Copies of this chain bind each other. A is one copy, B any other.
Amino acid sequence: MQSQGKLYVVGIGPGCRELLTLKAEEVLKGADYVIGHKRYLDFIRDVVVGKIVESGMGKEVERVKKAIGLVEDGYVVCLVSGGDPSIYGLAPLVAEVIYRNGIEIDWEVVPGVSALNAASPLFGSAIAGDHAVISLSDLLTPWDIIERRLRKALEGDFVIALYNPSSRRRKSRLENAVEIIREYRGNCFVALARNVCRDGEEVMIVRLDEVAELADMHTLIIIPSSGTIVDGDQMITPRGYSEKYNLEV
């Protein structure tokens, strides 16, 4: 038991050991407790020396409260988040719980590589330059807000990364999103990256009308901008160099 507790909210990257940061590896090794969802713990188990506490999907609030309680008892605790903790991870929930309850503990976020950073190069460079990041899950955000953001991102001609596109319960939301995208871009090409950096990694470029059938909750969908090059298995969003520089080699 430590004399003084500390909470680390640790981004462990998209799903492979090699994309852990040096800092994440260090704090995972040094923690008394490492708390997270099974899916995220599996590839870091052998890094952890302390006690592992598995928690189920949808139990985020419980997990955060448990972690804070252990820190108050004097332990060093890592709360793990897939990808980066700010991007649909646990950092905002931890910050909110600490803020609303006026809790005084030592805590720190260890940023990580988000799924979009790992998915983009699987197609060449699908996401580049200005982009918008939207989750299609309406569990915490009302659908009208999600729809509005999707429309504005399409009107702004952003490259768009769609997280959490679908689950068995929410299949119809992805179908709604597909209809909205079609209004602006027709039956465009989109990139799908499933299980990025994990067993069963799969990437494909398909037409929009195939997406609802193919995407699941472990898929990241990339909607290209009007400037994006799509050719075979390549999706490349140029930064604009070719208009100012000679790119011939």
Contact = CB atoms under 8 A, between A and B. Distances in A.
Interface of A: 9, 11, 13, 17-23, 25-26, 60-61, 65, 68-69, 84-88, 91-97, 99-101, 103, 108-109, 111-114, 116-118, 120-121, 124-125, 127-135, 139-141, 145-146, 148-149, 151-153, 155-158, 229, 231, 234, 236-249
A231 to B, nearest CB: 7
Contacts of A238: 92-93, 96
Contacts of A249: 65, 68-69, 97, 101, 103
Contacts of A92: 125, 128-129, 236-239
How many copies the complex holds: the figure is 2
Contact of A140 (B118, B135, B241): B241
* Interface SS of chain A: mixed
A157 B133 contact: no
A41 to B, nearest CB: 18
A133 B134 contact: no
A223 B164 CA distance: 24
Instruction: Pick from A26, A130, A158 the residue with the most CB of B within 10 Å.
Output: A130
Contacts of A20: 21-22
Most buried by B among A25, A97, A108: A97
Given A85-B121, A100-B248, 11 more contacts: A20-B22, A21-B21, A91-B120, A100-B247, A129-B135, A130-B132, A130-B133, A132-B156, A140-B239, A152-B156, A152-B158
